[in-house]
Structure 1
Amino acid sequence: MPSDQKSVETPVEARRLRRGDLLELVMEKTADRGKCLAYHNGQVIFVPHTVAGERVQVKVVKRNRKFAEAHPLSVLESSPNRTIPRCRYFGCCGGCTLQHVAYAQQLKDKHQLIREVMTRQADLPDLEIRAPLGMTEPYGYRNKMEFSFSAYRWLSREEIDSDMVYDKSFALGLHPPGNFAKVLDINECHLQSEKCVALLNGVSDFTRHSNRMPWNWRHKEGFLRNLVIRESAHIPELMANLVTFGYDEEYMLDLGSYLQSEYPYVTTLVNTINTSHAQTTFGERIEIIYGPGIMRDRIHDLTFEIAPGAFFQTNTLQAENLMTVVQDLAGVTENDHVYDLYCGTGTIALSLARSAARVT
């Protein structure tokens, strides 16, 4: 090519998308995992933290043969269904993806997503899909949260821009979206009650100033791995479960004394020992430090004893609504034999047991 001839950049509109491209899009509809979907010259683009109907400026961050992903830079025309997120960590925390969307609209979007799945994947276009049953209060509903320790702290944009100096070698909180290597250190979370958040902060202070290291996923070493908090919705009981790499009786007794003194509403403290390299809250054994080692909760008139590693519906109040719907739709009589083929803790089977001749 002659030296005086300049190459001409092909406009974005006339080529496949590339990382770094800047686009102006109108978000068409809500898609999976809290993202919205838009089209650009027939190419599908997913964008988080947007609302259907909005016009936004985005930057392409990833693409493959089927679709692209973009990061929103600014909202040029906002949707009336956009709302102010309650949590200050929203956007950099992977715990929530839809706090920017009004709850009533979230229910409508869920209804539409279920219809699309049953039509396109299950090939049941004529199936009646009832509207989801919403919650009276869509915050503070979780009876269980799993928080992670890490020797690699993720800093939010607010923290990076501040004049504060942060210890990046310790964090207790939740992972940022799509990043399981680091942890965002948090001191508030609107998914659980204020009691649970206070306990989270207390354990964070205790462990941060102890001589035990948080888990280092790169070197597969460290002592502190997870904090699991369970709280009963109907019985004043709360379980703290510290997951560690190995067992240190003196350390756990010190933690137990601290919790009993500062957080007397914690009715049991257990220690799950996980010496594998897998990032899981399950372990080889469980040590009961104080209390019964279980937590009780009720669904209607049934009382469940929940072990540290047991599965239980994380939204107790909605589980009660679900059981009511199941009972009404099943219409079980004393002549029926109910088969529970995916039992778990048996909430569905037990809810139907009084009406049925037999449950298996």
Structure 2
Amino acid sequence: MVAGLRTSLKIGFLSAIIFTSGCVSNSQSGLYGGNFDHEEAAKTRMSLGLTYLQNNNYTQAKKNLDKALEFNPRSADVQFAMAYYYQLVGDNLRAEEYYETAIDLAPNNGDIANSYGAFKCQNGEYEKAKAYFFDAINNRLYANAAQTYENLALCAQSQGKLDEAIGYFQDALKHQPARGKSLFLLSELYTVSEQWELAESTLRKYERVAKVTPDSLWLAYEIAKGKGDLETAKGYGEMMMSLFPESELTKRYLVQRESMQNKVVKTVKSTQPNDFETQISENQTNTDGLTQTSSNDKENEKSVAQDNDAQRQSQSNNTDNAPTATANTPEKAQNTELSVQSDKFHVVKEGENLYRISLLHNIKMATLQEWNNLENTGAIIAGQTLWLVPPSMQEE
């Protein structure tokens, strides 16, 4: 499932939840007095149901949403809420039915179109997702174009369409220049495509509107390395150690630093001092999972590790996603911990997609698909184990 898109599904009316008690009778339909307002009762029940969903009480959520549907089956918002419920519990067939009904009842509702687009993208239907996203964007009454462009970018990323993703993030920032998520993710994409100057300038904009995090320091570290500025890169690494000593990204930095030091020591013993960078570059073995760069330092980082698991270069992408893109998702040590096992497989955590995993381990998405027999880039779920090595190196 496309991470980030699911967590970004924001139902516009959640902020207007009503906590009025006693306004809805528990009597059966048809026994109410003539003054009973079914529409208001449906709204109240729907709001209660969504509140229970937020608190992970799915039983009470379903009871209240069913009651809302009983009171007003022609409400697009109630149909939308039911679609959201079934999407959360993984019943995509029923979610699809309720989304379709909601769209039929309110074809000009941008919030529903945006969320339906996210739902379609989660299920790997990229072109259909785009159509619904643009339905929302082209609605003159829709006020969240920046969010929807961000969703479009995330969806494009999940399909490996990085150029399209960059363009959509740029569109999101035209509508909301200080949108932190879009700035960070765009800087990340510039880094992946080795557009170092754009990556750096975009990250600077992000830093002006957001607080320093392990993720932002890691990205700054990667950008500095890409530009060949190793002293600045080291400075960001030391800053991670100082501010976030327990972060998994700090641990990754320490492993990389130790690895680089070991390589330099070994090379200096066998070459002239002025030639050690060249020698390291010549000793590297390129693999299918690595993206080549012209930077010696970048090449060093992508060289073959001691256990022939050369496909890994640590990247952090613990930002959230969702269609409201990818705000910071809590890290789970079991999925980011550096270990012998993590060199060969990756356990998918909540909020990850194949694109982000490919960045994390520096393996092309197409390669990950091939090694794991995935039919499409959205066909992964939390808890799934993905091989990071070719079939010949996989062990049962």
Which structure is higher in helix share? 2
Q: What range is the shorter-chain TM-score in?
A: under 0.3
TM-score by length of 1: 0.26
